[in-house]
Amino acid sequence: MTAHDDLMNHWRRIEALSAASGLLAWDQEVTMPRAGAPQRAEELGALAEVIHRERTDPRVADWLDGATAEARDDVARAQLRHIRRQHERAARLPGQLAAEIARVTSRAQGIWAAAREADDVAAFLPVLGDVVRLKRAEAAALAGDGSPYDALLEDFEPETTGDQIAALFAGMRPRLTRLRDAILGSDRNIPTLAGRFAEDAQMALGQEVARAFGFDFAAGRLDVSVHPFTSGSGRDVRITTRIDPEDPLGNLYAVIHETGHAAYEQAIDPAYALTPLGKGVSMGVHESQSRLYENQLGRSRGFAAWLFDRMTARFGDIGVADAAGFFAAVNRVHPGFIRTEADEVQYNLHIMLRFDLERALIAGDLAVGDLEAAWNDRFAADFGYAVDRPRNGMLQDVHWSVGLFGYFPTYALGNVYAACLMERLRRDIPELDASLAAGDPSPATAWLHRAVQCHGGLYPPREMIARAAGGTPTAAPLLRYLEAKFGALYDVTGALA
């Protein structure tokens, strides 16, 4: 056995243990009886401790040196790059701290869910304080002399800094608010859906739509959870959605969004299974797939026309008269509190709010006790109206409860990347609109499969997008796309000139 073989066998076990941990987390959200939460926290903590010990095994450094000398191709070098980063990162993080974070966040998730249900910020603050304290300790241990926030961000978006993101956001913000103001000032009247949409019929349509976007049910599942998410890799990828009998679009677009995430995981070269390359390379690239599926494809005029037919076939009268009205309805720009329900124009403003607040929390510039006020002030300033209740404000997202700091900005990066990919995809596939109108996104999804998804973790995030899109990613394509689509829909193109 070579050093490379030893290392890869060792890492294969780590990936298998991580996959087991992912399954436990999925189960906690989807199937676990509530009383199981305390023991589940122990299980996740024990797994985190074991994984941490494996990653920091003293033999890894020697194997890495040997394997680096042996490495002959890009795949081997990429594997080693990932392993070295994980090994060095783990070595900087005390095992005790990793286990404590796993336990506390597992517990915090249940407390968050109950607090959100009860609109009870005070019930959530103590455990959120624990999570922030532990994540600040983790960030400090990881960062050394660098930026603590960037050290957390690296977990989700390697080779990207908070300052880069802040600059990107600063360039997007004026054009987005200008567009939003123009739209909200327009007198174009966009219809909304009306009716009752039975749960089982929604689930059946969700399955149909997931299949249309290529979800492989032999290698995955679709279930219901509080907060839609995707879990797993390779031949066992699970997506969830949420069902509201009065809002069928929430379910449908959650399904399309998560199917985009799942497509990435299901499409990765099987040769990378249970290796560091066998997963999406970053959350930004992941989100570029899910947002492209959801918005550029799922909310396109063509696909909306097909979906209108499927909706009326299942539900009868849905309160809009025709495909054009349905296209407008699924793209309606509307006031609202909830990020996951936000339209494409305002979505990134929700992200910028969270990005600034979580950077301040990790920097120690904002106390957990002041978070609700900070959220509500910023929301009123950015959106023009006040948060009415905590579940519509700082209790709406699961992320912070489970310790995901540095995750939110990757949603907006995903939007930026998606638009870069889409400009190129449109040039390569002139017949795209016709196939979308036939309910067949497969020309687009096959392009993404080849250009992005099959590569897994092979290329660093920005390089991945640059290779696929044919140029360094910038915010320009996203802004062009939004101004063109919504300028036309709301007849405000003149105001944007």
Interface residues with its own copies (CB under 8 A)?
Answer: 12-13, 16-17, 19-21, 23-24, 27, 31-36, 38-40, 42-43, 45-47, 49-50, 216-221, 232, 234-236, 273-274
Dist. CA 166–CA 150, nearest whole Å: 12
Q: How far is the CB of 75 from its own copies (least distance, A)?
A: 20
Per 3-state DSSP, what percentage of the chain is helix, strand, and coil (rounded to 5)? 70, 5, 25
For the annotated catalytic residues, the residue numbers are: 258
DSSP-derived secondary structure letter, 431: T
Q: How far is the CB of 103 from its own copies (least distance, A)?
A: 10
Dist. CA 55–CA 276, nearest whole Å: 12
Could you tell me the end-to-end alpha-carbon distance of the chain, in angstroms, rounded to an integer?
Answer: 65
Query: Among 392, 384, 333, which residue's Cα sits nearest to residue 183?
Result: 333
Q: In terms of CB distance, is 75 or 219 closer to its own copies?
A: 219
Q: In terms of CB distance, is 13 or 389 closer to its own copies?
A: 13
Dist. CA 64–CA 465, nearest whole Å: 28
What is the enclosing helix (H) or strand (E) of 221? strand 220-224
Q: In terms of CB distance, is 49 or 247 closer to its own copies?
A: 49
Q: In terms of CB distance, is 24 or 476 closer to its own copies?
A: 24
Q: How far is the CB of 7 from its own copies (least distance, A)?
A: 16
Q: How far is the CB of 17 from its own copies (least distance, A)?
A: 5
Q: In terms of CB distance, is 24 or 143 closer to its own copies?
A: 24
Q: Which residues pair with 237 in a beta bridge?
A: 220, 232
Q: In terms of CB distance, is 49 or 433 closer to its own copies?
A: 49
Rounded to the nearest 10 degrees, the angle between the axes of helix 408-428 and helix 461-469 is 20
Q: How far is the CB of 20 from its own copies (least distance, A)?
A: 5
Q: Which residues contact 346 (CB under 8 A, 6 or more apart)?
A: 176, 180, 333, 336, 383
Q: How far is the CB of 175 from its own copies (least distance, A)?
A: 43
Dist. CA 405–CA 409, nearest whole Å: 9
Count other Cβ atoms within 10 Å, centred on residue 250. 18
Cβ atoms of 288 and 419 closer than 8 Å: no
